[in-house]
Amino acid sequence: MTAEVVDVVVIGLGPGGESIAAQLAKAGLSVVGVDARLVGGECPYYACIPTKMMIRAADALAEAHRASELAGSVQIKPDWAPVAARVRDDATANWDDQAAVDRLLASGARFERGWGKITDAGEVTVSTSDGDKVFRVNRGIVLNPGTDPAVPPIEGLADTPLWTNREAVATETVPSSMIVLGGGPVGCEFAQIFSRFGADVTLVQSGPRLLPNDEPESSELLRKVFERDGIRVVTGARATKVEYDGTNFHVQVGDETHTAEQLLVATGRTTDLSALGVKAAGIPDDGKTINVDERMRAADKVWAIGDVAGKGAFTHMSMYEADIAAADILGKDGPVAQYHAVPHATFTDPEVASVGLTQAEAEAQGVNVRVGLTNLPDSSRGYIHKLGNDGLIKLVEDADRGVLVGASAVGPGAGEILGALLVAVHAEVPTSTLKGMILAYPTFHRAIGAALAEL
Ligand SMILES: Cc1cc2nc3c(=O)[nH]c(=O)nc-3n(C[C@H](O)[C@H](O)[C@H](O)COP(=O)(O)OP(=O)(O)OC[C@H]3O[C@@H](n4cnc5c(N)ncnc54)[C@H](O)[C@@H]3O)c2cc1C
C-alpha cells in the first residue's frame, strides 16, 4: 500500500492530543489526528466534565440539607433526571464529538477516525471504516492514547453487567444500592454522588485508606465524612468473588458478602501498548506507561504525552505535556517538563487537593521535613461556615531550604485554596516570605497562615 507523507501523526486525541494537533497545524505543519472513539478523549465525555456536573448537583442537594438547619425549612426531593439531561445534552451532546472534530479541522489539521498503530519506524497505519491508510512522517509521531478502565481479575466479575466510569456517567437512573470497588479519586467521587442521590453505597478499598496518593490526614477526614453521611467504607480488604443473580451483585470481601443492585469498578486504568505497535518504534510494550525524557521524547521521532507518560493522569498534565512536546517538535527552545509542583484535586465534599510531595514522599527523598497542620473548623471562616466545614491545611516544608515542597488543602473549595499553595511550591517562595503575607479575613485560605505558624 502506498504511504502518504505528512509531517506529524497524533495517535489518540485526548485533551493533550487534540491540543498538540491543533498547535502544530496552526504552526503550518501537515498534521493527521487519529482517534478511534471521540475527539477530546475521556475527559469531556466520561470523566472530568460530566462527573463534575454530577458533583455540582450532588453538592447542591447537600447544601439544601444544610440550609434546613441554617436557614429554615427546605423541601428536598432528589431527581436524577436533570443531572442525566445535563450530562447528555450539555456536556457530551449525546456523546457526539462533531464540535470537537470541527474545531480540529478549523485549526488546519486532518482527522481520521480509526485505530492508529505504529507499523514501522516513522510509519503509522490507521484502520478506518474505509480500510487501512498508511502515513509516513517527516517530523514525528505523537502518542496520546490515554487509558481505559481496568477490570481486575476477580472470580466471576468479567461476566457481570458491571459499571465503569463510562456507564456511570451515562446512567439515566440511580440504583437503589451500589458497591464501589476502588477508593481512589474516581471511586470516592462516584460513591458520594450516588449516595447523595439516594443509593445505599458501600465503598471497598483494598489498601488501608481512601485516596492513597494524598496525605493520611486527608484520607482519614474523608472517611469520617463519608461514614457520617451513611456511606459504608471497607478498607484493607479485597473483593475475591463476584456473582450476579440477574437482579443483584453479591461481592465477597474478606469474610463478608456485600449485596447491591449495581457494582461500579474504579480500580485503576490501563493502556494496551502492544495494540499501539510501540515495539515497531523500539519502545517496550510490556508495561502500562511509556518512558519519556524531559521533552516528552519516547524514541527517535516519537513523543508520548498524557496518562500514558505516567507522570500523573490528569487533564492538566496532558495539556502541559502537549505544550512541551509541541515546542520540541517545532524546534523551539521551549521549557523542559518539571514535575515538582503537580497539583491534583478530588472533587468530593469536602474537596481534597494537593500539590508536590506528601510528607512521606518528602521523607523518603531524605528531605529534612517540617510539617504545619491546621484544621479548618478552628479557623474563623470554618466557625462561621459551620455545617460542611470539614477540612484542613497541611504544609510540608524542606526545613534546610526554607521552602514548601508539598501542601494539601481539604475543605469547601479546597481546589481553589490550593491555588495559593501551588504558587508557593512551584516558585519555591521562601516560607519566611509566605509568613509575611496579609491573608484576607475571614477566608478559608487564611488558614494557610495558621498552618505556616505551626512550621
Ligand atoms: C471518572 C474520571 C474523572 C476524572 N476527573 C478528572 C478531573 O476532574 N480532573 C483531571 O485533571 N483529570 C480527571 N480525570 C483524568 C482525565 O480524564 C485524564 O487524565 C485525561 O482525559 C487525559 O488523558 P489523555 O490525554 O492521556 O487521554 P484520554 O483522555 O484518555 O484520551 C485518549 C484518546 O485516545 C484514543 N485512542 C487510544 N488509543 C488509540 C489508538 N491506537 N488509535 C486511535 N485512537 C486511540 C481514545 O479513543 C481516546 O479518545 C478523570 C478520569 C476519570 C476516569
Is ligand 1 within 6 A of the CB of residue 144? yes
Q: What is the structure's pLDDT at 441?
A: 98
Q: What is the pLDDT of residues 91-100, one digit of tens each?
A: 999 999 999 9
CA gap 192, 62 in Å, rounded:
10
Is ligand 1 within 6 A of the CB of residue 375? no
Is ligand 1 within 6 A of the CB of residue 321? no
Cell numbers for 314: 490528569
Q: Is 4-40+97-147+271-329 assigned to CATH 3.50.50.60?
A: yes
Choices 3.40.630.10, 3.50.50.60, 3.40.30.10, 1.10.1660.10: CATH for 157-267? 3.50.50.60
∠ CA 41-47-51, rounded to 5°: 150
436 Cβ partners below 8 Å, 6+ apart?
none
CA gap 454, 433 in Å, rounded:
15
Distance from the alpha carbon of residue 288 to the mean position of ligand 1, in angstroms = 14
Which tops the pLDDT comparison, 255 or 334? Answer: 255
Residue having the nearest C-alpha atom to atom 10 of ligand 1: 314
Q: What is the structure's pLDDT at 334?
A: 84
Is ligand 1 within 6 A of the CB of residue 276? yes
Cell numbers for 251: 461481592
Question: Are 303 and 325 within 8 A, CB to CB?
Answer: yes
Q: What is the pLDDT of residues 2-43, one digit of tens each?
A: 999 999 999 999 999 999 999 999 999 999 999 999 999 999
State which ligand 1 atom lies nearest to the alpha carbon of 114.
43
Distance from the alpha carbon of residue 43 to the mean position of ligand 1, in angstroms = 5
Distance from the alpha carbon of residue 141 to the mean position of ligand 1, in angstroms = 18
350 Cβ partners below 8 Å, 6+ apart?
221, 222, 225, 388, 390, 391, 410, 411, 412, 414
Instruction: Please give the average per-residue pLDDT across 186-214, as a whole number.
Output: 98
CA gap 409, 426 in Å, rounded:
16
How many secondary structure helices (H) and strands (E) does the chain include?
14, 22
Q: What is the pLDDT of residues 151-190, one digit of tens each?
A: 999 999 999 999 999 999 999 999 999 999 999 999 999 9
Cell numbers for 99: 464540535
CB atoms within 10 A of CB 94: 9
User: Strands (DSSP E) along 144-238, which ranges?
Assistant: 148-149, 177-181, 200-205, 232-235
Pocket probe mutation, ligand 1, options 48, 118, 124, 422, max atoms within 8 Å of Cβ: 48
- pLDDT score of 63 more than 90: yes
Q: What is the structure's pLDDT at 189?
A: 98
At the topology level, CATH places domain 343-453 in Enolase-like; domain 1 (3.30.390)
Structural domain spans, the chain = 4-40+97-147+271-329, 157-267, 343-453
Is ligand 1 within 6 A of the CB of residue 147? yes
- pLDDT score of 1 more than 80: no
Within this chain, domains 157-267 and 343-453 share the same CATH topology: no
Is ligand 1 within 6 A of the CB of residue 186? yes
Question: Are 391 and 414 within 8 A, CB to CB?
Answer: yes
CA gap 299, 277 in Å, rounded:
13
Residue having the nearest C-alpha atom to atom 24 of ligand 1: 146
Nearest to 169 by CA among 244, 247, 86: 86
Integer CA distances (angstroms), 249 to 15, 203, 362, in order: 35, 14, 42
Q: What is the pLDDT of residues 105-145, one digit of tens each?
A: 999 999 999 999 999 999 999 999 999 999 999 999 999 99
